[in-house]
Amino acid sequence: MNLQKKKDREELDQRIPRMPWYVEKFMNYKLPDLSPSSLLEYIRDYETFLSWLMAEGLTSTDKMTEIPLEDLERLHMDSVDNFRMFLATKRDHANTKTTISRKLSSLRSLFHYLSQIAEDDHFYPLLKRNVMAKVSVKRTQKPKDTAAKLEGKLLQEQEIIEFINYIKQDYAHDVATNKQAIYSHELNRVRDCCIVSLILNSGLRVSELVNLNMDDIDFKKRLVYVFRKGKNDDTFKTPVYFRQDAVSDLEEYLAQRETRYKAPKKEKALFLAIANGKKEGSRMTKRAIQEMVMKYARRFGKPYLSVHKLRHSFATDYYLSNDLYKTQEQLGHASPETTQIYAHLTDKTMAEAIDRRKTDEA
């Protein structure tokens, strides 16, 4: 089990006992099909809902574990609408439309299970009335809308090479008067370049990148083996292709990994960092990689770039030479609908390329 899944599973095990028995029953039902990370999202959504029920006096108890099924059966549509309004206007943290839809979808899944699948000792449904069956949860973000938001915020064609080269060479010139920045860059330049190059030549997620181990790389086949997001099988890693362009960056980093980061022999992690006060390198964190990318992006003149937008940049470039299903497989998307954003992005990219070619010919 990779580090994030292990951490999420531990948190899940801590949170489930705080839930009513029927929520725990639903979690056990879903466990074989969903990852701990996905189940943890369900639990958090149910905590929000059940806490709201108690705060509004819509349940006969003030202990979450003791909220009876009968209180769920007595809910009116007005109550669901009020909960939706509560999510949209929370003082401390108002939720986006996408988050609200996800939370309502979580409740629909629970209520559906209790009313249509789970049975009592007499073979009757556990939940006799399902108010959530009346709630329609619309997809709030269409692929075309996502593509529109990403337009102009990704690296395209030559910019991919330019950004990698910027980390290799030009960043040092931009921070020449900052001794601390120069020292950090000199120490980590090869590693940072390798990380960015690997994302831009494979489309890996940051969670997949963080969990890479030394033995997950196959140079001969140009593959890395990762635990894919959403898959609950921790015994099988998925092979993901990386382009030839990443090979030299990987080889250069590996040549100095052990000496530069004083890697202990037992440390399997591919990407290492030496934390403050430590003498030996350990696995880089997701946050460290995200902050590293943003640091270079700001100096490069594209402050909106993030690790995820680097993944989008690869995907858009990859889709130009491949079909929808190859792109879906490369990125590890569960549905081709998610991959369709690159069809919309590449339509504009191709149009701009044709316009540039016409200008050059003129």
Q: What is the pLDDT of residues 228-244, one digit of tens each?
A: 875 555 567 899 999 99
Tokens of 339: 């991959």
257 is catalytic: no
123 SS3 class: coil
pTM above 0.85, yes or no: no
Q: What is the pLDDT of residues 310-355, one digit of tens each?
A: 999 999 889 888 888 899 999 998 778 788 888 777 765 444 443 4
Task: Name the active-site residue from 205, 228, 237, 257.
Answer: 205
Split at pLDDT 50, 70, 90, the class of 145 is: low
Q: Compare 277 and 175 and report the one with higher pLDDT.
A: 175
Q: What angle (nearest 5°) sits at the alpha carbon of residue 328, between those of residues 139 and 252? A: 125
All residues at 6 or more sequence positions from 132 whose CB lies less than 8 Å from its CB, including other chains: 80, 104, 107, 108, 110, 111, 112
Percent of the chain scoring above 70 in pLDDT: 89
Task: Name the active-site residue from 74, 168, 229, 231.
Answer: 229
Is residue 10 over pLDDT 80?
yes
Split at pLDDT 50, 70, 90, the class of 2 is: low
Is residue 51 over pLDDT 70?
yes
Q: What is the dihedral of CA 276, 291, 229, 254, to 10 degrees?
A: -60
279 is catalytic: no
pLDDT at 351: 47
* Cα(310)–Cα(202) distance, integer angstroms: 10
| Cβ count near 257 (within 10 Å) | 21
241 is catalytic: no
Task: Name the active-site residue from 9, 25, 108, 308.
Answer: 308
311 is catalytic: yes
Task: Name the active-site residue from 22, 171, 319, 342.
Answer: 342
205 is catalytic: yes
What integer is the mean pLDDT of 58-63? 92
Is residue 92 over pLDDT 80?
no
Dihedral over Cα of 38, 269, 327, 237: its sign = negative
Task: Name the active-site residue from 237, 257, 333, 344.
Answer: 333
Task: Name the active-site residue from 103, 228, 237, 311.
Answer: 311
Is residue 224 over pLDDT 70?
yes
What integer is the mean pLDDT of 208-212? 93
* Cα(115)–Cα(22) distance, integer angstroms: 11
What CA–CA distances, in Å, run from 279 to 213, 263, 264, 268?
20, 9, 10, 17
